[in-house]
Structure 1
């Protein structure tokens, strides 16, 4: 069979180009149809992705507004944060307290008597160190009997219960310094020695020998007075004094009475509500764009006239304007707390009016969003079904995926059919090319014979 390269050699015609053009002409109508449909499906898939993204972002801002406990956001404020700071959980209650920080919790630190250097030999035997009731023992042999060796043995002990050993060098020599890693009176350090050559007795604490150690810092509990009530704590982070409130002590200031104020964190709630308004407006813009039509350019959005998008948009708008059942008084709707809908369907937030409403009737504002038929609850009930694994968006995407696969099959079938047609044309034009070559050869022969006829007559 002739190839594209040899086709037309006999006839002198560009039959290969002719075959290509004929195949392209037969492919064009169906190929245009498939390509157009593939483009349309791709646009639809992108549009559904935009719709899902817009609704997901909106839903993320509804989550903290549809649950009543999420409104229990409190701020705790110290009048002097150089002395103490405070934070509050949802379980806190509003209130004000007089506070005096009498004493900070400290971790004990003791310093041994002076040795000539860190290399000085102290002794051998066993050292048992304890912080409070937790203890551990290190064995000191001749290789670790120096001050530095004892330091390292303490720090490397796998069962070390919370003592850090260091060497501090001073004008009178080197000192072994032991520091408890936990604050509080119950975490006092003790050291006892046994066995060996007796040299470790110089490191025992407490001891009858007052020269063994100098107490650099006592093990003390924090002491704080709140509303005239004394509270002690082993830590400078106090969580038990006031329910839902954590106090962090920074500096003792027993001579001054400070204030602690706990109130609802309206700034955080305003930020959450503003985020909802922003995301709703973003979703509204997306819905409008998907259904848009530009008369000047005659270009339509990818989901113009789609009932799914139209229903989502109308349902969201409807729920935003409904009052909340069971609420009476001045605050019953979004507009009453400063959230209004503009002519273009987007929301506008008056933060001053919202704050005024929260200060005047916080429970009403909370119920507008999170009651059984609150706005956030109702909007979430509209959005969630569309975003579920078997929701409308997932089903639409599955349908589009199925269409994509069918179009891929159509493309494969078209390619296969065009190959058959191309081979058919090749066969036909190969035969034609051969016939033309034969005719050309016959014509040449006859021409030669006819050219010789006069010569025959003359002879």
Structure 2
């Protein structure tokens, strides 16, 4: 702002204060529009918060709860966990399986038959094995079809061999234990496809493996080794697998040891794997889901019923200048309250969510077709007398009757999966979790169309366009206020100039009379 000096005419008028007072009334309309814009920004922010809560519920709760693992958890026990343990997914039948482990899967495991160092030290191959560096011996390994070439110099160590074999991409692991003075080679996987094959290596490399590293060839005299498959018998059917961990008909087996074999009869003892519906786990999953859902509904109902303090408008900078920090904070808490009170979009989200639980699942037979039929009930918005509850945030929440839910699961272990996870080409045929997922997707789209994405540039949502309109209005109003303020100053400039001329004329007249 341009600094002006007044009063030279002797008027004694504080022009800056007068202009400020005159502009105060003019700025009232500007401040009102600014407050309306600020309220809209707060409302947009509250919508963004609801979007994030909705997204979290959809991604972190509903998405997982639609899966059969949450809806149909299994309880699996083994009569001999030292031989085999197991887990089961929802596709596994609630039955018992008999399993005999005849052989564990294994990979190739090669090791030196004894200490390998024959020289004076282990610092180089020359000193460790007595090579002559001047001979420039070439160790041309071919391991599983991959080439590893090492020239023995006075600097070459056994760790160069380890590094070369490990970096060849041959799917093996080599290691040298200096304390035990032994060399080890392992295949990276198990089963008959696992191998360590040195076919194609030159004679110096083969001699290095057998004579220096003391790794014996196979029974055929070759350096070709393969792993072995696991051999099991499940429910009378013999199977081979390359790993000790595998899945059959929804059951994941983990083999740990061979089944005991009677030395007299040669008969092995079978292990029984028992699979049952885990009712307690299902109930716990349902309760955890309900708790998360209720937290979400409480947040929405709190926004819908939050008090709107209409006398508490956003504070301007001028207003804040005359207030204490604590008073500003208390004021703004009330000013921001109730931005989404009785909001139609939030009301729609709450009512739609409620209907997902109250409407039956088409296609289900028997007495269990709704959430309430298995003990999952929606709270009422009214009390026994038909009046609104004192805590409106509880409206639409879920309540679990554990006794009723347990009874339903005992009669039909799959009933929670049916009511929550049922699939269908219409919402009426879908389970509750699938309905909720689709409904939350639709709700998020509506919130996005209204207020944009959280923490993202937004120019297309309806609120963003309204805010842009407010910016245009405020810009025009501010420009107009500047013009008015400048006009006031020009008028006072003219007044000061006129008073100054009058003073000069008065002084001249006095001088004339005096002379």
TM-score in terms of structure 2 length = 0.70
- Counterpart Cα distance in 2 of 1:67 and 1:313: 24
**Other structure's SS at 1:362 match:** coil
Deviation at 1:103, TM superposition (A): 4.2
1:180 equivalent in structure 2: 187
- Counterpart Cα distance in 1 of 2:152 and 2:95: 63
- Counterpart Cα distance in 2 of 1:270 and 1:252: 37
**Other structure's SS at 2:130 match:** coil
Pick closer, same or farther for the CA change 1:418–1:368 going to 2, 3 Å. Answer: same
Residues 180-212 of structure 1 deviation map (CA, whole Å, 9 limit, x = unaligned): 3333456454556644599546367427899x9
Correspondence 1:248 to 2:254: yes
- Counterpart Cα distance in 2 of 1:14 and 1:262: 92
Structure 2 unaligned regions, length at least 5 = 123-127, 262-268, 312-333, 381-393, 453-460
Deviation at 1:376, TM superposition (A): 3.3
Preserved CA contact (<8 Å) 1:125 1:141: yes
2:303 equivalent in structure 1: 290
Correspondent of 1:166 among 176, 179, 187: 176
Pick closer, same or farther for the CA change 1:209–1:250 going to 2, 3 Å. Answer: closer
Preserved CA contact (<8 Å) 1:223 1:231: yes
1:206 equivalent in structure 2: 217
The 4+ residue runs of structure 1 with deviation greater than 6 A are: 67-70, 144-147, 207-210, 295-300
TM-score in terms of structure 1 length = 0.78
**Other structure's SS at 1:20 match:** helix
Preserved CA contact (<8 Å) 1:190 1:205: no
Return the index of the structure with the highest Cα Rg: 1
- Counterpart Cα distance in 2 of 1:384 and 1:137: 55
Deviation at 1:58, TM superposition (A): 4.2
1:358 equivalent in structure 2: 409
Preserved CA contact (<8 Å) 1:164 1:181: no
Preserved CA contact (<8 Å) 1:324 1:332: yes
1:456 equivalent in structure 2: none
1:238 equivalent in structure 2: 246
Preserved CA contact (<8 Å) 2:139 2:152: no
How many correspondences in the alignment? 436
Deviation at 1:420, TM superposition (A): 0.9
1:376 equivalent in structure 2: 433
- Counterpart Cα distance in 1 of 2:301 and 2:420: 25
Preserved CA contact (<8 Å) 1:126 1:137: no
- Counterpart Cα distance in 2 of 1:163 and 1:53: 48
Structure 1 unaligned regions, length at least 5 = 454-459
- Counterpart Cα distance in 1 of 2:309 and 2:361: 42
1:121 equivalent in structure 2: 130
**Other structure's SS at 1:291 match:** helix
Bigger strand share? 1
Preserved CA contact (<8 Å) 2:100 2:234: yes
Residues 129-180 of structure 1 deviation map (CA, whole Å, 9 limit, x = unaligned): 55xxx3445445442898827734753552534251425555xxx4444333
Cα RMSD (Å) of the superposition? 4.0
Residues 311-331 of structure 1 deviation map (CA, whole Å, 9 limit, x = unaligned): 333343344323333444332
- Counterpart Cα distance in 1 of 2:306 and 2:167: 76
Pick closer, same or farther for the CA change 1:23–1:96 going to 2, 3 Å. Answer: same
